A and B are shown apart, each in its own frame.
Chain A
Amino acid sequence: QQQVKQSPQSLIVQKGGISIINCAYENTAFDYFPWYQQFPGKGPALLIAIRPDVSEKKEGRFTISFNKSAKQFSLHIMDSQPGDSATYFCAATLNSGGSNYKLTFGKGTLLTVNP
């Protein structure tokens, strides 16, 4: 059972464009949704995260939009740059109330930003 579904699998964007990656989750108990960026041969790096009590969070060029009723959230990268070319993973976990807090990841989106 895939608890976090991510799309698209790959994405090509022109420099300066907007990159949009979508995720949907099944477990309504999830209360913390981070996004990670991973370059080849490196570990995932935490980009930005959101809790379900807000609908949007922005940090620099990165914005998370969250729709609790639809159980969906998305990452928007504004003014995409070639240096943003990487694999992006959405994830979900419980961040409160006890539990092991393990992250459940989507399958990833390979983003290519053309110059």
Chain B
Amino acid sequence: DTGVSQDPRHKITKRGQNVTFRCDPISEHNRLYWYRQTLGQGPEFLTYFQNEAQLEKSRLLSDRFSAERPKGSFSTLEIQRTEQGDSAMYLCASSWWASPGTQYFGPGTRLLVL
């Protein structure tokens, strides 16, 4: 499978715990995006990487959120001290340098904070 993969697919955690999600983009894609989708809404941009550099963070990304892409390949998104409002689907997408708007999404990680 050469598509975008995400792990885990589902995560249930208690409020206050830390969680980490992983995204593996399509191998030749240099751009990687994180989005968050709540029920009944379209995905909302969180942050993006060009290679290993994190070039923009949305104001939705509070200081409890951190993302990395250490070698320009896979990326991790960590949420510290989770809150119930963090419950959502976290989506990763990747795109090729020649067509950055053409983004391919992974299956997402569904987070439920109890």
Contact = CB atoms under 8 A, between A and B. Distances in A.
Interface of A: 6, 32, 34, 36, 41-46, 49, 89, 91, 93-95, 100-108
Contacts of B6: 43
Given A42-B107, A44-B105, A106 B42 contact: yes
Interface string B53-69: 00110000000000000
B107 A43 contact: yes
B91 interface: yes
Interface residues of B, number: 28
Interface of B: 4, 6, 31, 33, 35, 40-45, 48, 55-56, 91, 93, 95, 99-108, 110
Given A105-B42, A107-B42, A108-B40, A94 B101 contact: yes
A49 B105 contact: no
A45 B3 CA distance: 11
Contacts of B99: 95
A95 B100 CA distance: 6
Nearest to A46: B104
B106 A107 contact: no
Contacts of A100: 48, 55-56
16 contacts: A32-B101, A34-B101, A34-B102, A34-B103, A46-B102, A46-B103, A94-B101, A101-B100, A101-B101, A102-B45, A103-B101, A104-B45, A105-B43, A105-B44, A108-B40, A108-B41
A42 to B, nearest CB: 6
Contacts of B101: 32, 34, 49, 93-95, 101, 103
Contacts of A49: 101-102
B45 to A, nearest CB: 4
